[in-house]
Amino acid sequence: MLGFINQFKQRYSQYFKRKYGTPGFLRRNPLDIQIIPNEDEAVERVIAYVQMNCVAANICAHPTQYLWGTGDAFFSNSRTNGKRVKATNYPDTG
């Protein structure tokens, strides 16, 4: 996992440098990889933590306001007019 992330950071930094002329874009961003225990509400807490990063970084006041995030799907009380996908809509693979 660490190898993949480091490769991604390196390649994206190279792309960003070519496009915008900014060197070392992701070099100063450290990694913190931890195993999420599958007990209690650990997974739910991690998902909420990730969704709240935009608030912790003072980008917005509430995760539903972050245009590039999915906080609206997790924290909004409003219902969307989406279409429910049922298992019967998929071709039989068995």
Q: Which amino acid is at 37?
A: P
Tens digit of pLDDT per residue, the chain (94 long)?
778 888 888 888 888 888 888 776 666 777 777 888 888 888 888 888 888 999 999 999 988 888 888 887 877 776 666 666 666 645 554 4
Give a three-class secondary structure readout of 15-26.
HHHHHHCCCCCC
User: What contacts 27, CB < 8 A, 6 or more positions away?
Assistant: 9, 13
Q: What is the pTM of this model?
A: 0.49
| Triad 63, 84, 73: Cα angle to 5° | 5
Beta-carbon contacts of 69 under 8 Å, excluding residues fewer than 6 positions away, are 51, 54, 63
